[in-house]
Amino acid sequence: MDVNKLLHKMTIEEKVGQLMQLAPFFFIKDLEIEVAGHVSDIGINQEKIFQSGSVLGIRNAKEMIEVQKRYLSQSRLQIPLIFMADIIHGYETIFPVPLALSCSWNPKLAYQMARVSATEASSAGIHVTFSPMADLSRDPRWGRVVEGFGEDAYLSSIFVKQMVLGYQNNDISKPGNVASCVKHFAAYGAVEAGRDYNTVDVSRLFLHQYHLSGYKTAIDAGAKMIMTAFNLVDGVPSTVNAYLLREVLRDQWKFNGVTISDYDSLHQILEHGCAEDNKEAALLGIEAGLDIEMASSCYVNYLKELIDEGQVDIKLVDEAVTRILELKNEVGLFENPYKGADPELEKQLIHNKEHLHAVKSIADECSVLLKNENVLPIKKGLKIALIGPYAQSRSTNGSWSWHGKRELNSTLEETLTKQGFTPVLTLNVESQEDISTQDKEVLKTVDIVVIAIGEDAYESGEARSKTDLSIPRKQTTLIQLTKELGLKSVVVLYSGRPLILDQVLEADALLYAWFLGSQANESISEVLIGKVNPSGKLTMSFPRNVGQIPVYYNYFNTGRPKREGIQNEFVSYYLDVANTPIFPFGYGLSYASFKYGNLEISSHELNPKETLTVTIEVINDSDVPGFETIQFYLRDYVSKIARPIKELKGFQKVWFDSHASKVIEFKISLNDLVMIDATGHKYFEYGKFAVMVGPNSEEVQSKDFKLIKESEL
Ligand code: BGC
């Protein structure tokens, strides 16, 4: 298709229509009745609906075909709709939530998950997924931490990249692949006090150093689209922020794909107090470089008027439309408007054996063992009881899994039983008060009580912010009960965010199980009984209490750091709790036991053109084979712009047979020592650095080296 020729045939109304995205119900079903409400809500008529360019969210292939058919029957130029949807951690076969996935420290799994998601979604006629979310957050009060890959820009970017590569698979024209739309540009994860949609105020330095890195990585990996965020950046809503959308995105990053607003976020700039009315919103949006407005009608109702009045240059609209038509062309929609949609294939793919197997093997690497006082794995023959509100729950999909059918998931009771560990007693109870005296008597006879507690799936995700992160609804009284009865207890904790764990740590063991998707409880039971050795490690620091938030591993030293063992009042600390998190970034236990040898460095001087080698021996000092993730951090001691006390620069997840030992090697080159300034440019400084290696961000061994000029050699 010659996109330029097509553009020349289009009326202004048809062009502007391409810039609007609507939900499927606008086009089908009881159009007159159903749409009347919605149409009057967003102020568009049927003619405008049938000029729109794309669809948000579609239920299945059948529905896609119906919508496209209906649309094309009324389209003068036969420009097909392009279908976009939120396929966040699986289409119908649901994978672990992204935060859990990052705890695998195995980016290959992100690629694998994106591939399966893409094949299923594509068979339903979806061409673009609104994923990955590259927003960085250090605040578990924000419910959307569940959708991200943790607190660290480096680690998160690695996962973001694999998601984009997996979805697109180098060729979005092929059925089975979908285009990736990275979101939410920019810094949405920095909402004040973790309250969703709230104000964001970050320095340009932090914006470039931390927040932008994920979006940039996605774009460098070839993501075709980017979605703006709901929040302000520098006082200007991201959706109309010309610095972000033109200077950074187009000029610095050379992005030539499509930009899209978040849901209704162009219209919402009125609420921000940044536009008087929808007409001004349309003007600001198109000037800033926003191509598609999702679920609002500022462009469709006002761009023509603005062009006629000479306030908007048609060139801006042409540029946006061209980008959208090019995307449609690349997908192959002009040759086949029903691209991908195949109800038969859809049926074969979703929830098929192979896909479920992929979920299970991925889930096996995502749960994080945080405590284990010689109770796990549960030995065969022991009598167990299973109590708690999630003992018989199938709700393991987590947020953003609207195609996933949770009724197909198994409960923990079912999966334990299948493994031959049938609980002698299962109590689907919220708290101690719900347990009868008679059941307490039975409890006394068991060897181990498995307590399934946590948050419901709808307690994290969009618009699910909280100020109290303790375990809800008195569930920890169940742990107290086991203590009172002198029983061994194992907590399985379902959640989409880090929670405050103080009372939970009274249990003998704690498995942080997140929401692991369609095979969650299959995986959890195999971990509990030792068929699977847990290998997840945290990618967000766990706070001791809410007042400590934000707490993260790559903090700055301050001018008055708290030093271990030295009593001094006037240092940076709290009177009531330690500065450190209860569980640090990178922390997680295994049934194996890993010992670290001494850290060695090939030289104490590094010349910019060469590399240093650091090595460490890691020994599996146990009879249990398993994975260990060895982490590598750097610190720049002296720099004009202060640097954090450590920054993750590499990691290796390595399999160890029982009693195996391996020498693990990391290379340091100039690239690892480069920093980003407040304008987004890279630079480096000579001087003293530290390299640190260890099993998590706190337990590290350290060696110093110097980056020297060649002339000093
Ligand atoms: C969310 C986006 C999502 C969009 C479309 C918004 O409310 O913030 O992440 O992609 O809805 O469903």
Is the distance from CB of 185 to CB of 132 less than 8 angstroms?
no
Residues with CB under 6 A from ligand 1: 56, 86, 130, 183, 262-263, 462
Q: What per-residue confidence (pLDDT) applies to 475?
A: 97
Question: Higher-confidence residue: 419 or 34?
Answer: 419
- pLDDT bracket for residue 19 (50, 70, 90): very high
- As given in the structure block, the two tokens for residue 515 are 């929401």
Range of weakest confidence among 45-49, 165-169, 233-237, 669-673: 45-49
Of all residues in the chain, the percent with pLDDT exceeding 70 is 98
Tens of pLDDT, residue by residue over 210-261, are: 999 999 999 999 999 999 999 999 999 999 999 999 999 999 999 999 999 9
Q: What per-residue confidence (pLDDT) applies to 703?
A: 98
- pLDDT bracket for residue 402 (50, 70, 90): confident
Is cis: bond before 377, omega within 30 of 0? yes
**Which residue among 215, 296, 462 is best mutated to probe the pocket of ligand 1, counting the most ligand atoms within 8 A of its Cβ?**
462
Which atom of ligand 1 approaches the CA of 295 most closely? Answer: 5
- pLDDT bracket for residue 163 (50, 70, 90): very high
Average confidence (pLDDT) over 551-577: 91
Q: Is the pTM above the cut of 0.85?
A: yes
Kindly tell me if the per-residue pLDDT of 665 is higher than 90. Answer: yes
Q: Which residues are catalytic?
A: 262
* Cα 262 to middle of ligand 1, angstroms: 6
Tens of pLDDT, residue by residue over 263-305, are: 999 999 999 999 999 999 999 999 999 999 999 999 999 999 9
* Cα 29 to middle of ligand 1, angstroms: 23
Count of other CB atoms within 10 angstroms of residue 623: 10
- pLDDT bracket for residue 440 (50, 70, 90): very high
Kindly tell me if the per-residue pLDDT of 34 is higher than 50. Answer: no
Kindly tell me if the per-residue pLDDT of 206 is higher than 60. Answer: yes
**Which residue's C-alpha comes closest to atom 7 of ligand 1?**
263
Of all residues in the chain, the percent with pLDDT exceeding 90 is 93
Residue recorded with tokens 């299948």: 418
Q: Is 366 helix (H, G, I), strand (E, B) or coil?
A: coil
Kindly tell me if the per-residue pLDDT of 463 is higher than 70. Answer: yes
Average pLDDT, the chain: 95
* Cα 183 to middle of ligand 1, angstroms: 9
Tens of pLDDT, residue by residue over 580-611, are: 999 999 999 999 999 999 999 999 999 999 99
Range of weakest confidence among 31-40, 281-290, 362-371: 31-40
Separation CA 581–CA 589 (nearest Å): 16
Handedness of CA 500, 210, 89, 632 (dihedral sign): negative
* Cα 347 to middle of ligand 1, angstroms: 26
Separation CA 89–CA 516 (nearest Å): 10
Average confidence (pLDDT) over 650-677: 97
Kindly tell me if the per-residue pLDDT of 98 is higher than 90. Answer: yes
Q: Is 542 helix (H, G, I), strand (E, B) or coil?
A: strand
- pLDDT bracket for residue 116 (50, 70, 90): very high
Read off the DSSP letter of residue 211.
I
The distance of Cα 75 from the centroid of its chain, to the nearest Å, equals 38
**Which residue's C-alpha comes closest to atom 12 of ligand 1?**
86
Q: What per-residue confidence (pLDDT) applies to 712?
A: 64
Kindly tell me if the per-residue pLDDT of 30 is higher than 70. Answer: no
CA distances from 4 to 9, 82, 326, 329 (A): 9, 18, 9, 12
Tens of pLDDT, residue by residue over 421-434, are: 999 999 999 999 99
**Which residue's C-alpha comes closest to atom 4 of ligand 1?**
263
Count of other CB atoms within 10 angstroms of residue 680: 18
- The gap between the terminal CA atoms of the chain, to the nearest Å, is 60
**Residue 277 exposure: Cα atoms within 13 Å on the Cβ side:** 4
Is the distance from CB of 145 to CB of 495 less than 8 angstroms?
no
Q: What per-residue confidence (pLDDT) applies to 240?
A: 98
Count of other CB atoms within 10 angstroms of residue 33: 8
**Which residue's C-alpha comes closest to atom 5 of ligand 1?**
263
Q: What per-residue confidence (pLDDT) applies to 713?
A: 56
Which atom of ligand 1 approaches the CA of 133 most closely? Answer: 9
* Cα 294 to middle of ligand 1, angstroms: 9
Q: What per-residue confidence (pLDDT) applies to 571?
A: 95
Kindly tell me if the per-residue pLDDT of 84 is higher than 80. Answer: yes
Is the distance from CB of 211 to CB of 189 less than 8 angstroms?
yes
Q: What is the DSSP string of 678-703?
A: TTS-EE---EEEEEEEESSSSS-EEE
Which atom of ligand 1 approaches the CA of 184 most closely? Answer: 9
Rounding to the nearest 10 degrees, give the CA dihedral for residues 313, 317, 320, 326: -120
Kindly tell me if the per-residue pLDDT of 448 is higher than 50. Answer: yes
By C-alpha distance, which of 213, 210, 217, 94 is closest to 165?
A: 217
Kindly tell me if the per-residue pLDDT of 477 is higher than 50. Answer: yes
* Cα 401 to middle of ligand 1, angstroms: 13
Kindly tell me if the per-residue pLDDT of 18 is higher than 90. Answer: yes
**Which residue among 130, 182, 231, 268 is best mutated to probe the pocket of ligand 1, counting the most ligand atoms within 8 A of its Cβ?**
130
Tens of pLDDT, residue by residue over 624-659, are: 999 999 999 999 999 999 999 999 999 999 999 999
